[in-house]
Structure 1
Amino acid sequence: MEFVHLLLRYLHLLGFAAVFGGWLTSWLSGKFNINAAMLYGIATQLATGIVLYGIVAADGDADHAKLGVKFLLALMLAVMIAIPWWKKRERVAAGHFWATGGLIAVTAAVAVFWT
């Protein structure tokens, strides 16, 4: 069971890398768009995060407040990424793009600094 937990955590981190890497690539290219890496990364993070929550909650040592906040932030990020992707927007507004990047940073900060 420990291997499954570690594998899910690894996939969760890869999902974060895809979201952040996709956003960073879009910023550095100057396109300000939502790309496939961001979409699949946030889908991976949501799926693995929900399963990881189930595993931790089953053990009885889950911080429900922290995990609830993380889920809410990930859900908001998923909406900010999925809607422009589904509408096939070539470019998103600068405010939307920077808010997405800020939310990515806040989500990572909550994961790292909230103990």
Structure 2
Amino acid sequence: MEALRLILLYLHLIGFALLLGGGIAQFVTGKLRINPAMLWGSIIQVITGLGLAAPLRGGGDNEPDPAKLAVKGVIGVLIFIMVVIPWRKKRENVARGHFIGIIALTLVNAAVAVFWR
């Protein structure tokens, strides 16, 4: 079971890298649009996040706070929605505030994971 958790955690980190890296790359170029890396990163983040949270509901010593899981879940779903809607509508450009919001929420989600104990 530990091997599965580590594989999910590894994939979760890859999703984070895709989402943040894709967002920063687009931001630096100046053309604010949702790229495939951001889309797949958000999908991977939500799916692996659910997988990481689900087996932890058994009640062990290392179980994270349910409030932390809820906050991370809500932020993850918000990011997913903010990425998927412009992607589905095939928008060439995303509003600057919307795009910065995706990047900021991605960083906040990582901060919750690291600093909330």
Output the TM-score relative to the length of structure 1.
0.95
Q: 2: CA distance between counterparts of 1:37 and 1:65?
A: 29
What SS does the aligned partner of 1:88 have? coil
* Ranges in structure 2 where 5+ consecutive residues have no aligned partner: none
Amino acid at match of 1:47: I
Other-structure match for 1:74: 76
Amino acid at match of 1:2: E
1:55 deviates by 1.5
CA RMSD of aligned residues (A): 1.0
Give deviations 1:51-109, integer Å, cap 9, x for gaps. 11012113542310000000000000001000000000001011111111111111111
Other-structure match for 1:31: 31
Aligned residues: 115
Structure 2 residue 70 is matched with structure 1 residue 98: no
Other-structure match for 1:87: 89
Greater alpha carbon shift after TM alignment, 58-67 vs 26-35 = 58-67
Other-structure match for 2:116: 114
Q: 2: CA distance between counterparts of 1:97 and 1:86?
A: 15
Other-structure match for 2:11: 11
* Ranges in structure 1 where 5+ consecutive residues have no aligned partner: none
What SS does the aligned partner of 2:32 have? coil
Other-structure match for 1:62: 64
Indicate how the Cα distance of structure 1 residues 3 and 59 shifts in structure 2: closer, same or farther if over 3 A, else same. Answer: farther
Output the TM-score relative to the length of structure 2.
0.94
